[in-house]
Amino acid sequence: MSRSKKHLGDFHAQHSPLGAFSSFTVGLPGSPGGFGHALSGPANQNVYVGYRKSSRSKWNFLPFFAPPESNESAFTGEEATTAVPSDIKVLEGAGLRRKLGWASDTWNNKDETFGFSLLSPFGPVGDPGRMKRSEKRKHFSPHINGWIEYDNRDGKSDVELLFGLGEEERLFRPVQDKDPSLFGFAINRGCGYATLPSEHVTARQGFNVLDPKFQDRRGLHVVGGQTALVFNVPAGRKMKFPLVLGFFEQGVITDGIECCYAYTEFFKDLEDVLRHGLYSRKQYETLAAKRDRELERSKLTEDQQFLLAQSTHSYLGSTQLLWRQNAPLWVVNEGEYRMMNTFDLTVDHLFFELKYFPWAVRNVLDLFLSRYSYRDRIYDGNGTEASGGISFTHDMGVMNHFTPKGQSSYECDNLTGCFSHMTMEQLLNWVLTAVCYAEKTGDQKWLKANEKTLRACVRSMQRRDHPVSAKRDGILKFDTMRCKRGGAEITTYDSLDISLGQARNNLYLAVKTLGAWILLESAFGKLGNDKAERTAAKTANLLANSISEKFDADTKTFPAVFENDNKSLIIPAIEGFVYPLFLGISSAVDRQGRFSTLLGQLSEHMNQVLKPGVCLDAASGGWKISSTSTNTWFSKIALSQFVVRNLFPEVVNASVARADQVHADWQRSSGCGAYAMCDQIRSDTGEACGSRYYPRGVTSILWIDE
Amino acid sequence: MSRSKKHLGDFHAQHSPLGAFSSFTVGLPGSPGGFGHALSGPANQNVYVGYRKSSRSKWNFLPFFAPPESNESAFTGEEATTAVPSDIKVLEGAGLRRKLGWASDTWNNKDETFGFSLLSPFGPVGDPGRMKRSEKRKHFSPHINGWIEYDNRDGKSDVELLFGLGEEERLFRPVQDKDPSLFGFAINRGCGYATLPSEHVTARQGFNVLDPKFQDRRGLHVVGGQTALVFNVPAGRKMKFPLVLGFFEQGVITDGIECCYAYTEFFKDLEDVLRHGLYSRKQYETLAAKRDRELERSKLTEDQQFLLAQSTHSYLGSTQLLWRQNAPLWVVNEGEYRMMNTFDLTVDHLFFELKYFPWAVRNVLDLFLSRYSYRDRIYDGNGTEASGGISFTHDMGVMNHFTPKGQSSYECDNLTGCFSHMTMEQLLNWVLTAVCYAEKTGDQKWLKANEKTLRACVRSMQRRDHPVSAKRDGILKFDTMRCKRGGAEITTYDSLDISLGQARNNLYLAVKTLGAWILLESAFGKLGNDKAERTAAKTANLLANSISEKFDADTKTFPAVFENDNKSLIIPAIEGFVYPLFLGISSAVDRQGRFSTLLGQLSEHMNQVLKPGVCLDAASGGWKISSTSTNTWFSKIALSQFVVRNLFPEVVNASVARADQVHADWQRSSGCGAYAMCDQIRSDTGEACGSRYYPRGVTSILWIDE
């Protein structure tokens, strides 16, 4: 893929190891960033990256800092000075090139003599519960690698390169004070950066990183907030210097369930991490290059590649591998909200996680069952109450606090909109996630052990349809009594209008329910449970017919909600078919097969909605998940694009296809890009309106194997 | 002391346990504050304290929050709402009364039905290295107590009281999830507040603390950043509810020397601290009341009482008791700079510390000797170099990073001003601190063990006067070669003009040197080392004569620097006499005794300088430590006031005495008060220009026993 001007866009990227809930965020022109742990968005450190062609030249810097008032004046009582001199050149516009790879982020100057790169490699990882220590150190080291380089082969003077960070409030300390095999700076024991000590590198610390007025015997002033490493590239040489950025959060980190970070079990401290990252950098560089190459050689367009790469970067930043009584506990935090293992994200992340670390999916399913499941009573909104069945909470807590057994951080009572309960949605999510896990991995043992739970899920799904079997049509009609009378269940599309927000009689949820029955049929088949298999098959058919009957032959569309004469049109009508497609359950996705009527209707529906002014935004051309809301979600667009292209290719026309560029431009502009990957976006303006710094965009992994 | 309008001033106060380097800062009208650990200034949490007279009345709140945009909109995608409703009344002006006691801070409404109080008790504490666990828990629990109360005996409706905190970025968790004997909220495992569970109290958490739209089954919404406890006071009752605010920083907290907080050795976690604080509150309340009473019954004026109380509050916030391989390690952090055990603060804190916890002084002296001493070469600025002797670094590190052996965080090379070396100053500081410790405690064993070091200090002092004994006059003439040629030593008055900044031929430092010789004479006497005693006595006399000779009989003043025709006039000319005064070495402070000439001259000097336009600021009337700088330091003023009143009472006139009110008003105005206690202040405007959030004001403890 050639370098493109698009990749110079206004966006931060999260550079994150797997499982550390930490990011080194950088990239938005004019903005600081840097090291952050468990934050809702980018940190606020100056990031200094630059070069000068000789000691008499101006410094050229990447635009990653906002000159702060230095804290020098607090000491001297004199007027304030800035931490960065003004006599520098900021590389921007045509003077700078950026390339976001799947596992890398690289900046070059115009003639490509200068380069700076940060890597976030990822790949298949085995179950850490069964891993040797050395393997754990390899896969879960909380560091990222990078480098800074200059090709001075044509140069007549020595070139200086600079990489540094500044934060006045917490201050940095020289890591070489503690470990002479490292050369760099750290904030307390929690994060830091280093390179290899050599005669080519010197360290700087002071109130002003380029012009430190005050220097101790080794040239530093450790009361100053600005730090840097300065590398010398002699005339005639091309040199590349490794960088390592590490994180380390010690001790018990969570409450409710007390856990530490897994990495604290096999790394002693930050210096151990930095050493490991620096001295084992080759394997990480190789892995990052492999992923980059894979994406570049894929059939994805440049825009699609960018979207998947940016999504993956933000996903990694939300991942958290905890350690609880000698066993791993996997959490994905929900971006800016930092809710833990939000189940409606788990069900979207599974396409990525089952490809690279399926044990994480199982780990989450097991904890949902053991701690975050509950049994409820249900209610039809008209006075009929009945016993319900098993379901699962929306999430497991928020901000490192595991909520009590059977309770989420999100769900509240007496509501009909945002923050209401999502009982049916999460019930389906357990079923779909469980069957996807079992089928993709072939883990029959786990499936067998959970057969009882799957059957409890079946009974729960049936009763929510109707406690009286004769009255069932497959569609949700009963809400959990956790909502209380007057309240109503919602779906994961909580912040949209009623077209997607209401759970009962909801088209999206009905088709998703169909997806769950199709997967249950398959799973019970594999389990040899003929009776349950037949029930699932029968219910799938019944439900498919029920949905079909809602089709409006005049408009050739389905209403989003099967009541109150709802006229909204939604793209996620087809979302439920992603699961049989993903698992290759061909009978269910055969356009001429058992669901041919419904699939035909959905094709017509999609043909109608994927039009400008309906579910293609009239202003931007981007996909709107509902015709009646300008709040659209990238992760769900990506998922639906996969279903459309594979199941309904006939609806793909030029304006549909062009949307990728629109979606990529949203993320490349500061309205989203200021918060790295964003999910909830205004379809007309491309501005994020929620779900910033967000992991869910990795549904776009579905594209890679299309 | 009656409640005074002055005490409604614009100032934050730090509410801090001993040794936790943590503060709950609150008080500046219109400003947030809250829990902070190791910060350079106040935290940024909303603090909600208020009441309403019935469920239909408006809430009355203390002015401790800035209504933030709530994070609700991030979830709902809708427009932002504020976290606090506007329909409240903020108590201010005549509607609010505040009283800062020595160990308390109390707010009342006008009719005193409502009250809110935070305590920071302190008192004599034994050596934690020899303490039982239960004693350690008592003295070093990282919590503060408080209460909220209402006298509703005349009321017709139930009154509601509210105490709460808000922070959107880190979020709070309900502590009752973990410990049902507590009722409150915590941020992760690091800080939190609680009360006793009872039928009178309910908890709230959400995006808006007064009107939480969303509530889970227990009425909370844990994804919301605003939290509160609401207390019900039935009509006809007077009720007072205890509050506890706790801190807990786990694990290794420092580098260079790896230490944890001492309290982690005898408290399990934050809940353990909160429980202890709540259920043992009586003893803390009693101790706080005792200190409050002591100050109120002292002879200090209201302004002086305020200054000592505010100083003590900020001092406690900078204290840090660490634990290192089963032994205590005492640190006082330097306010906003957070340098560790800055020696020129130690020598000022000793008056407070020797009164309450003298082991802390010994602890610091021992670490200065073992790790932060060095031997140098010296230089006279004219080409003569010689071997020097022992001295000590300016500090032990910064921001929880202990610098390497023999190096401070502050001192840099090749300088003649701020950030240069303070070799002579710190040498004197070790001598003065050591002798004060030994004499005040009577710890002869320690004195004996350190006799060798005292003798090394003597030799070092002599050589810095002049390596050739015949050329000695007692005054510093040689700088450390650590400054390098071209550099020059400075004094602790680093940010002032040359009048106090330059070490060589400096009046302040010469008289301080005299103080050191007087103390050495006394110490060697106690050690029975007659020879050394005689040497010290002789040198003291020599030096006193040398200083006397600098007196300008025409102007009746001493120049601040004995060279270059310096004309600055300084108050700290008398600082060195604080030590014999403090130790009651009567022969040295006898106006008719051996130093009568010098003391007489100093009296004349002080009489000249304590005049408006000289060292009383022409605009404000406040004390200026130098006639040629508007940068004045409260801690040093307080110390000099003690010396003036006790040694030179004849110079105290009305304008001198009135200055206390000026100094108090500085601290009660937002120019200082925004950062709690401040030390470096512009004498004309009363605005802080450095040394904010600062511990050194406790030199005012000297006043209490006058």
Please tell me whether residue A26 adopts helix, strand or coil conformation.
strand
Q: Cα separation of B656 and B617, whole Å?
A: 11
CB-closest option in B214, B255, B680 to A415? B214
* CA-wise closest residue to A233 among A50, A48, A27: A50
CB-closest option in A407, A631, A691 to B216? A407
To the nearest whole Å, the CA of A218 is away from the closest chain B CA by 9
CB within 8 A of A5, min separation 6: which ones?
none
Among B residues 40-69, those touching chain A with beta carbons less than 8 Å apart: 40
* Residue A166 Ramachandran class (φ > 0 left, ψ -120 to 50 alpha, else beta): beta
- The residue of chain A with its CA nearest to that of B418 is A76
Q: A495 vs B77: CB contact, 8 Å cut-off? A: yes
B-chain residues within 8 Å CB-CB of A256?
A: 173, 177-178
- Residue that the structure tokens 């893929």 belong to: A1
Inter-chain Cβ pairs, chain A and chain B, closer than 8 A: 163
Is A536 touching B (CB cutoff 8 A)?
A: no
Q: B418 vs A173: CB contact, 8 Å cut-off? A: no
Which of B37, B39, B73, B255 is the best mutation test for A, with the most CBs of A within 10 A?
B255
Is B494 touching A (CB cutoff 8 A)?
A: yes
A-chain residues within 8 Å CB-CB of B482?
A: 217
Q: What is the CA radius of gyration of chain B?
A: 27
* Residue B689 Ramachandran class (φ > 0 left, ψ -120 to 50 alpha, else beta): alpha
- The residue of chain B with its CA nearest to that of A41 is B169
Beta strand A373-379 with A479-480: parallel, antiparallel or unpaired? antiparallel
Report residue A284's pLDDT band, with 50, 70 and 90 as the boundaries. Answer: very high
Which CATH number is B298-705 given? 1.50.10.10
Mean predicted confidence (pLDDT) in A190-207:
97
Q: Could you read off the pLDDT of A313-327 as tens digits, one per residue?
A: 999 999 999 999 889
* CA-wise closest residue to A172 among A213, A210, A229, A214: A229
The pLDDT, as a whole number, for residue A7 is 45
Burial tier of B284 (Cβ tally within 10 Å: 0-12, 13-18, 19+): buried
To the nearest whole Å, the CA of A401 is away from the closest chain B CA by 7
Question: What is the token pair recorded at A171?
Answer: 């201050």
* CA-wise closest residue to B363 among B548, B129, B147, B81: B129
Q: ipTM, 2 decimals?
A: 0.95
For the cut 60, the answer to whether the pLDDT of residue A595 exceeds it is: yes
* CA-wise closest residue to A320 among A330, A307, A328, A311: A330
Which CA distances in Å does B437 have to A349, A641, B343, B458, B584?
64, 77, 14, 18, 13
CB-closest option in B76, B170, B411 to A418? B76
B/e letters for A517-527, b = 16+ CB within 10 Å, e = fewer, are: bbbbbbbbeeb
B-chain residues within 8 Å CB-CB of A495?
A: 75-78
| Total residue length of chain A | 706
Report residue A2's pLDDT band, with 50, 70 and 90 as the boundaries. Answer: very low
Q: B256 vs A419: CB contact, 8 Å cut-off? A: no
- The residue of chain B with its CA nearest to that of A270 is B255
Which residues belong to CATH 1.50.10.10 in chain A? 333-705
Mean predicted confidence (pLDDT) in A556-575:
94
Is B689 touching A (CB cutoff 8 A)?
A: yes
Which CA distances in Å does A443 have to A354, A454, B382, B410?
12, 15, 84, 61
Q: Cα separation of B337 and B398, whole Å?
A: 8
Q: What is the mean pLDDT of chain A?
A: 95
Which of A72, A419, A496 is the best mutation test for B, with the most CBs of B within 10 A?
A419
For the cut 70, the answer to whether the pLDDT of residue A83 exceeds it is: no
A-chain residues within 8 Å CB-CB of B251?
A: 189, 250-251
Question: What is the token pair recorded at B31?
Answer: 């400003």
Please give the span between the terminal C-alpha atoms of chain B, in angstroms, as a whole number.
19
Q: Could you read off the pLDDT of A604-644 as tens digits, one per residue?
A: 999 999 999 999 999 999 999 999 999 999 999 999 999 99
Which CATH number is A333-705 given? 1.50.10.10
Task: Please provide the DSSP assignment of A250-279 as one string.
Answer: -SB--BSS--EEGGGGT--SHHHHHHHHHH
Query: With a cut of 50, which residues of chain B have pLDDT below it?
Result: 1-7
The pLDDT, as a whole number, for residue B8 is 62
B-chain residues within 8 Å CB-CB of A222?
A: 397-398, 401, 403, 409
Is B489 touching A (CB cutoff 8 A)?
A: no
Q: B188 vs A222: CB contact, 8 Å cut-off? A: no
**pTM for this one?**
0.96
Q: What is the CA radius of gyration of chain A?
A: 27
Structure-derived torsion over alpha carbons of residues B595, B597, B598, B602, reported in degrees to the nearest 10: 130
CB-closest option in B338, B413, B496 to A216? B413
Q: Cα separation of B14 and B19, whole Å?
A: 13
To the nearest whole Å, the CA of A617 is away from the closest chain B CA by 18
To the nearest whole Å, the CA of B49 is away from the closest chain A CA by 25
Which CA distances in Å does B549 have to A158, A494, B499, B501, B535?
58, 85, 18, 22, 21
Say if residues A686 and A666 touch (Cβ distance below 8 Å): yes
Which residues belong to CATH 1.50.10.10 in chain B? 298-705
Which of the residue ranges A369-378, A498-507, A639-648 would you say has the lowest mean pLDDT? A498-507
The pLDDT, as a whole number, for residue B6 is 44
CB within 8 A of B120, min separation 6: which ones?
B14, B15, B16, B17, B103, B104, B105, B144, B288, B312, B313, B316
- Residue that the structure tokens 């579905």 belong to: A702
Please say whether the dihedral angle defined by the alpha carbons of residues A270, A274, A275 and A276, taken in this order, is positive or negative. positive
The pLDDT, as a whole number, for residue A84 is 67
Fill in the amino acid letter for A23: S
Q: B255 vs A177: CB contact, 8 Å cut-off? A: yes
To the nearest whole Å, the CA of B645 is away from the closest chain A CA by 29
Q: Which residues pair with A50 in a beta bridge?
A: A61, A162
Please tell me whether residue A584 adopts helix, strand or coil conformation.
coil
Among B residues 312-351, those touching chain A with beta carbons less than 8 Å apart: 336-339
Which CA distances in Å does B391 have to A673, B406, B460, B492?
55, 9, 8, 15
Which of A167, A207, A223 is the best mutation test for B, with the most CBs of B within 10 A?
A223
Say if residues B178 and B323 touch (Cβ distance below 8 Å): no
The pLDDT, as a whole number, for residue A4 is 42
Fill in the amino acid letter for B531: K
B-chain residues within 8 Å CB-CB of A252?
A: 189, 250, 269
Q: Dihedrals φ, ψ of B122, to 5°?
A: -155, 165
Is A256 touching B (CB cutoff 8 A)?
A: yes
Burial tier of B218 (Cβ tally within 10 Å: 0-12, 13-18, 19+): middle
* CA-wise closest residue to B489 among B380, B407, B365: B380
Is A600 touching B (CB cutoff 8 A)?
A: no
The pLDDT, as a whole number, for residue A76 is 75
Is B153 touching A (CB cutoff 8 A)?
A: no
Question: What is the token pair recorded at B627?
Answer: 């006639």
Among A residues 346-405, those touching chain B with beta carbons less than 8 Å apart: 397-401, 403-404
Q: A215 vs B412: CB contact, 8 Å cut-off? A: yes
A-chain residues within 8 Å CB-CB of B253?
A: 188-189
B/e letters for A155-183, b = 16+ CB within 10 Å, e = fewer, are: beebbbbbbbbbbbebbbbbbbbbbeebb
Say if residues A624 and A574 touch (Cβ distance below 8 Å): no
Which of B177, B178, B223 is the best mutation test for A, with the most CBs of A within 10 A?
B223
Which of A173, A179, A344 is the best mutation test for B, with the most CBs of B within 10 A?
A173
SS (H, E, C) B211-231: CCCCCCCCCECCCCCEEEEEE
Is A415 touching B (CB cutoff 8 A)?
A: yes
